Amino acid sequence: MTAPILLFLLFGAVFGLASFSHRHLFSEGPSRREDSDGAPGLKARLGWALLCSALWPVMLLTGLHSWWVLSRRRALAARQRRD
| pLDDT tens digit sequence for 4-57 | 999 999 999 999 999 888 887 777 655 555 555 555 688 888 988 999 999 999
Give 73's contacts (C-beta < 8 A, 6+ positions apart).
Answer: none
Instruction: Say yes or no to pLDDT of 2 above 70.
Output: yes
**What is the rounded average pLDDT for all residues in the chain?**
84
The reported pLDDT for the residue numbered 63 is 87
The reported pLDDT for the residue numbered 6 is 96
The reported pLDDT for the residue numbered 29 is 58
Give the Cβ contact number of residue 75 at 10 Å.
10
Report the C-alpha gap between 2 and 83 in whole angstroms: 57
CB 11 within 8 A of CB 54: no
Instruction: Say yes or no to pLDDT of 83 above 60.
Output: yes
